[in-house]
Structure 1
Amino acid sequence: MKKLLSITFGFTMCFLLLSCAEMQQMANQFPELNPNGGIDIAGGLKEALNNGISKQVSKLTAVDGFYKNEAVKILMPEELQKVDQTLRKVGLSSLADKGILMLNRAAEDAVKESTPIFVDAVKGMSFNDAKGILMGNESSATTYLQNTTTTPLYAKFNPVIKNSFAKVGADKVWTSIITKYNSLPLVKKVNPDLTDYTTNKALEGVFKMIAVEEKDIRTNLKARTSTLLQQVFAMQDKK
């Protein structure tokens, strides 16, 4: 028990959340965690997430961050795929292209609001969170952010996207697109909620890009650009 107490003293206070059996298991598996100063697992995972946010999410906020990134580019929703095809067939390709561009511009505007929410989520990571992330799959950190930020991000993104549509006249463009389509003979009338659709696609794009950075850090030694990242993810390599 003294040995366990000594190990516990070397960990952060978050380690107190673990049972003695869990602590012993961690100590046996990772001798780097010793009474004289253990590896800051939570700190390493926070750094990895912050890298994903700063390197990847920031790219999405630039002009064409969504529009010219094929991995996250927002296309017309499924129910409007026929709209897109039909407009192009009747010589309205430019109108269809403009509608898609405006979806992506709105997403780029919205993602600018994400950083404070991500920062709060990263700060709130506990040791138990970090342990699960480190020993999880290649997207465990991204999943953690999805679970902790999706609801507040949606609430933040949705009004920004709605305002962005109004600011650039996207609401009028899309009204024109849908009106023209609905006026064509023998088509099923549509009236999609494009704000909700674009909000969800923006969220999907954000987490996809964070996952790219996470996978790189987990699998590419050169991406571990600090001593802490090297120490923490070396533990992952042993699992």
Structure 2
Amino acid sequence: MTRASMTVGRRQFVTGALAGGIALAMPGMASAQGGLGLSSLLGRASDNALDKLAQPGAFYDDESIRIGLPIVGGLGGRSGGLLGSLMSAGNRLGVLGTITRDINDAAGVAAGEAKPIFRDAIDDLSFSDAPEIIRRKDGGTRYLRTSSNDRLHVALQPLVDGALERAGVYSTFERLAGEHAFIKQAGLDREQMNRSVTDQGLDGIFAYIGAEERGFRDNPLGGLGRLLGN
């Protein structure tokens, strides 16, 4: 095989493999092709995002997505409030120790287990308005959240519940509630804690998926683009 024919073969292969990404970068492409490309892109974006968040310390180390202590009655969490004040007092007393880090680590474990859940949700999207979605750099992520947030929340909750259990978060809160009145006053139970961590975890996951989608649209060919010039 000549060098010229090898070069043509590589170009054809790379062009075919990246057609979906190029379609997303060019809003003028047909809706059907854009929809197929968007599904492929979102799958890659969700996989990459969840892989990053599954790394030890990923949620806790990123202050923009760090999960706060669970919200009860609209108080607490990232925004502070009564529960946040109670828990901050507990932290100053050394009572809660590493509980916030444990919660964030549990969310990371759940994220690592959630890839099939997100893939299934993406595969079920219809992309009925693909051209409009394609025009926004995070349009696919926004559409996924609008279309599938409730479904993903329900599917993610058991993963979060198991991760919190294995991390000892539930048993720690139960023990501390029996020892310290200010924790008991917060009125936390297992269901509330799970729901709050799942809510905040989804916020972080979608933030990361959106960043991955924007990055891919800005550079759809990535490093493989260099092969086109060989």
Residue aligning to 1:151: 150
In the alignment, the residues of structure 1 paired with residue 212 and residue 206 of structure 2 have an alpha-carbon distance, to the nearest angstrom, of: 10
Matches within 5 A, 1:182-197: 182=181, 189-192=185-188, 193-197=192-196
Give yes or no for contact 2:52–2:58 (8 Å, CA) kept in 1: yes
- Partner SS for 1:112: helix
What are the superposed Cα offsets for residues 66-97 of structure 1, whole Å, 9 maximum, x if unpaired?
A: 2223232212241531123212333x1xx434
Residue aligning to 1:117: 117
Residue aligning to 1:210: 209
Give yes or no for contact 1:118–1:149 (8 Å, CA) kept in 2: no
Matches within 5 A, 1:33-182: 40-77=33-70, 78=76, 79-90=82-93, 92=94, 95-135=95-135, 137-182=136-181
Query: CA RMSD for the aligned pairs?
Result: 2.8
Task: Extract unaligned runs of 5+ from structure 1.
Answer: 1-28, 228-239
In the alignment, the residues of structure 2 paired with residue 140 and residue 39 of structure 1 have an alpha-carbon distance, to the nearest angstrom, of: 16
In the alignment, the residues of structure 1 paired with residue 68 and residue 174 of structure 2 have an alpha-carbon distance, to the nearest angstrom, of: 17
Alignment CA distance shift 1:99-1:142 (3 Å): same
Indicate the structure (1 or 2) with the bigger Cα radius of gyration: 1
Shift, 1:108, TM fit: 1.6
In the alignment, the residues of structure 2 paired with residue 130 and residue 164 of structure 1 have an alpha-carbon distance, to the nearest angstrom, of: 36
In the alignment, the residues of structure 1 paired with residue 181 and residue 51 of structure 2 have an alpha-carbon distance, to the nearest angstrom, of: 38
Shift, 1:209, TM fit: 0.5
- Partner SS for 2:58: coil
Question: What TM-score does the superposition give when structure 2 sets the normalisation length?
Answer: 0.68
In the alignment, the residues of structure 2 paired with residue 39 and residue 198 of structure 1 have an alpha-carbon distance, to the nearest angstrom, of: 37
Give yes or no for contact 2:90–2:96 (8 Å, CA) kept in 1: yes
- Partner SS for 2:113: coil
Aligned residue-pair number: 185
- Partner SS for 1:126: coil
What are the superposed Cα offsets for residues 99-126 of structure 1, whole Å, 9 maximum, x if unpaired?
A: 1022112212222332222222322333
Residue aligning to 1:21: none
Shift, 1:166, TM fit: 2.4
Amino acid at match of 1:80: L
In the alignment, the residues of structure 2 paired with residue 200 and residue 132 of structure 1 have an alpha-carbon distance, to the nearest angstrom, of: 27
What are the superposed Cα offsets for residues 147-192 of structure 1, whole Å, 9 maximum, x if unpaired?
A: 23322322222222222222232112122344444259xxx92113
- Partner SS for 2:65: coil
In the alignment, the residues of structure 1 paired with residue 130 and residue 51 of structure 2 have an alpha-carbon distance, to the nearest angstrom, of: 24
Alignment CA distance shift 1:181-1:131 (3 Å): farther
